[in-house]
Structure 1
Amino acid sequence: MTTPSVGLVVNPVAGLGGRVGLKGSDGPDVQRRALALGARPEALHRAELTIRHLHRVELLTVAGPMGADAVAGRPAHVVHRPGSTCTTATTATTTAADTRAAVRALVAAGAGLLLFCGGDGTARDVLDALGPDSPLPVLGIPAGVKMHSAVFAVHPHAAAEVVSAWARGAVHLEAAEVVDRDEAALRAGRVRTRLYGRLTVPVLPARVQQRKTGSGLPAPSTIGGIAAEIAERVGPGGLLVLGPGSTTHAVATALGAPGTSLTGVDLLRLCPDGQAAVLLRDARADQLSGLSTASPFIALSPIGGQGFLLGRGNQQLTPELLRAAGRDRLLVLATEAKLAALAGRPLLLDTGEAELDHALAGHLRVITGRRSAAVYRVSA
């Protein structure tokens, strides 16, 4: 019996902008700025988490940090060497053209499934290389900042489960949407999302994420009720870290802090009159690191359609900060309609640390309005 072949390509600079609040990593200027702000590449580590759990497949890959460095001593065939200067993950200058060339080389070498590690921009490069309506199965290891496309596993470990099931013939294939946001517009506070096409994805229930879907802004009375609940929980003088999203942005406005970022992470202090003052707007992870001893509350709203609470667009919330806050100070905000749209699927965590994911998992109280809440399952 022939061993199934899996082609691996890694975008080594994927996700660089997350911890430093840049909302993406597209383009060499943004990547240089992220590194100057202290960002550390995470994509190779995310790929390693998947590869170490893969069994009974033949690995085809790309030289250096575009693949081979993530194989961690396992036998693999290097079938392509990138043309750009690419020696280590911290000095990589790979481009979209390098990713496209690598994908074509892996396909030519006989890959039966393409495993790529990156974000929505990398998914677009894969789509460009394969062309529309390609039947080749593709799966993304999530390593970017946003990852709104429906071509990613929910976690690197889940990616290994999906690939292993594909090798056994225990999955079905379906077309999944590749979408991406305009990063320049995003940094200016405007959200522009575009559908670029579809890729064929192996599907294993609860292991592959849904596409992000938009949701209408809740009624002012609902937002006002959620804001009142938060003010009561946090209390005068309390610190509130506010995650991205239209719901949290509207809640901040209701608390008297309209200048918060729609797509970033902000730090607020609750005043005695119940209003909030913005202490940090679009905060980086290092700016929030000093809060570990301040017992802040962290308010998050799940991504519509996907259900992600952590690990998608809010990487500024580091494991250290989340552990300091703990489950009791994690405030989950969502309307009943947003929860209903998940159709029973759990809220999801991908903090980068498995132990923390499991510690935060279980059932959490979700604030849905004034004196209104739902208990909802959170999965690691």
Structure 2
Amino acid sequence: MAVKFRLGLIINPFAGLGGSVALKGSDGVAEEALARGAKPKAHLRMQQALEVILPYQQQIEVITASGDMGESLAKEMGFDVRVVHSVDGKSDASDTQAVVKHLLEEELDLLLFAGGDGTARDVYSVADDNMPVLGVPAGVKIHSGVYGITPHASGMVVKMLLDGELVCLMSADVMDIDEVAFREGTVRAKRYGDMLVPAEPRFIQAVKMGGIESDELVLVDIAAEVIENMNEECYIMGSGSTVAAVMAEMGLENTLLGVDLVQDQQVIGTDLSAEQLLQLTQESFTQDQPIKLVITLIGGQGHILGRGNQQLSSELIKRVGKDNIIIIATKTKLKALEGRPLIVDSGDPQLDRDLCGYYQVITGYHDYVMYQVANPDLN
């Protein structure tokens, strides 16, 4: 009998809950997020990853925790499942750590986990230096380098391992930020250590670059270009310092790490949740008026959707339409990608495919570059 691929599986069921309801994280606020109407999506993110390896399910033994932490989804998808940790009630960080402790005894081929930076920290706190891990991005904050660029990309890496391709291992940073400071508009990141991940640069994300853009003149030029072309439509203003520069030039208050709504160069909604954005743009949508979305990229990673702006739901993006997405960035940030494409991770794989293509990125006043959005895992 052939030896099966031993796949450790952990799902943090509450990962990403705070994103769509504008809480900018889930650590310690899961109950509040649920009360605001947030819907758990971590299992869907893991499902997208596992769908890539469904043809190999007879070759895989999934070793996991009970219920929503992995057992339910893996069994539903037809995998051979063995439970090594039972969850009593709602799971928390201690359950993640307990599962990892059990998995250390299983001589895994890979530990696949779905969550955000907090989950990565929980895994790191227990995992040893020899345990290969890979994250499926499901959280609000994804600064750590242990995650695939999308759930599908994470699945592609596992597929490469199952196909026997030569995949090296590398050390990747485990990062996290202070969510209390984050909700107050301050990014305070810290490196906690590193874990071994499959070294496939097409599918594994780079660690986010820190700091605020120093070239203020470039930001002013970008802002001037955006403002000159503004009209009466609704403008959804994404997060980040580059978008904040546009708001500052209009003399408007801005939620640096949230999403605001502007019309006639006046703020009509601040720090909005996914549901609030849908409600506030409904009138424009029913009147067939265009809705514009102004977004920038995360330095070093290249993500324009799905990292820190989960308020921009797939339903909202479809409402906006590809042609009404305005990408702004300094050439310094684009050059730092070293030719890698921009990435979208909306949570809807078909929408991600539809959004791929070349965009005219605003890089200054009457200054543009053509840059590609092309998720490597979808090619």
When structure 1 is superposed on structure 2, of 302-311 and 355-364 the one drifting more is 355-364
Task: Quote the sequence identity (%).
Answer: 41
Match for residue 58 of structure 1 among 51, 54, 61? 61
- Asked if 1:110 corresponds to 2:107, the answer is yes
Q: Mind listing any 5+ residue stretches in structure 2 that lack a counterpart?
A: none
Match in the other structure for 1:365? 360
Counterpart contact for 1:234–1:297, Cα < 8 Å: no
Counterpart contact for 2:71–2:83, Cα < 8 Å: no
Match in the other structure for 1:378? 373
- Asked if 1:142 corresponds to 2:131, the answer is no
Map 1:162-173 to 2 at 5 A: 162-167=157-162, 168-173=164-169
- Asked if 1:70 corresponds to 2:73, the answer is yes
1:225 Cα offset (Å):
1.6
Match for residue 207 of structure 2 among 207, 211, 219? 211
Match in the other structure for 2:294? 299
1:6 Cα offset (Å):
0.9
Match in the other structure for 1:177? 173
- Asked if 1:222 corresponds to 2:218, the answer is yes
**In the alignment, residue 263 of structure 2 is paired with which amino acid?**
R
Compared CA separation, residues 73 and 296, structure 1 to 2 (3 A): closer
Match in the other structure for 1:11? 12
Match in the other structure for 1:280? 269
**In the alignment, residue 84 of structure 1 is paired with which amino acid?**
D
Distance (Å, rounded) in 2 between the aligned partners of 1:359 and 1:49: 17
Distance (Å, rounded) in 2 between the aligned partners of 1:77 and 1:321: 37
When structure 1 is superposed on structure 2, of 356-365 and 215-224 the one drifting more is 215-224
Counterpart contact for 2:20–2:310, Cα < 8 Å: yes
Map 1:36-47 to 2 at 5 A: 36-47=35-46
Compared CA separation, residues 206 and 135, structure 1 to 2 (3 A): same
**In the alignment, residue 84 of structure 2 is paired with which amino acid?**
H
Counterpart contact for 2:60–2:80, Cα < 8 Å: no
**In the alignment, residue 38 of structure 1 is paired with which amino acid?**
G
Encode CA deviations 1:239-270: one digit per residue, 9 max, x unaligned: 2111111111122111211x211111111123
Encode CA deviations 1:13-48: one digit per residue, 9 max, x unaligned: 000001001000012xx1111011110000011111
Encode CA deviations 1:332-366: one digit per residue, 9 max, x unaligned: 01000000000000000010111211111110111
Counterpart contact for 2:148–2:154, Cα < 8 Å: yes
Counterpart contact for 2:65–2:86, Cα < 8 Å: yes
- Residue correspondences, number: 362
Match in the other structure for 1:189? 185
Match for residue 128 of structure 1 among 122, 125, 148? 125
Q: Mind listing any 5+ residue stretches in structure 1 that lack a counterpart?
A: 86-92, 271-275
**In the alignment, residue 289 of structure 1 is paired with which amino acid?**
L
When structure 1 is superposed on structure 2, of 200-209 and 225-234 the one drifting more is 225-234
1:82 Cα offset (Å):
3.5
Q: TM-score normalised to the size of structure 2?
A: 0.92
Map 1:250-329 to 2 at 5 A: 250-257=245-252, 259-270=253-264, 276-290=265-279, 291-292=281-282, 293=285, 294-329=289-324
1:141 Cα offset (Å):
0.5
Compared CA separation, residues 150 and 42, structure 1 to 2 (3 A): same
1:221 Cα offset (Å):
2.5
Counterpart contact for 1:79–1:106, Cα < 8 Å: no
**In the alignment, residue 340 of structure 2 is paired with which amino acid?**
R
Counterpart contact for 1:7–1:107, Cα < 8 Å: no
When structure 1 is superposed on structure 2, of 214-223 and 94-103 the one drifting more is 214-223
Distance (Å, rounded) in 1 between the aligned partners of 2:48 and 2:16: 16
1:83 Cα offset (Å):
4.1
1:158 Cα offset (Å):
1.1
**In the alignment, residue 26 of structure 1 is paired with which amino acid?**
D
Match in the other structure for 1:241? 236
Distance (Å, rounded) in 2 between the aligned partners of 1:218 and 1:331: 22
Q: TM-score normalised to the size of structure 1?
A: 0.92
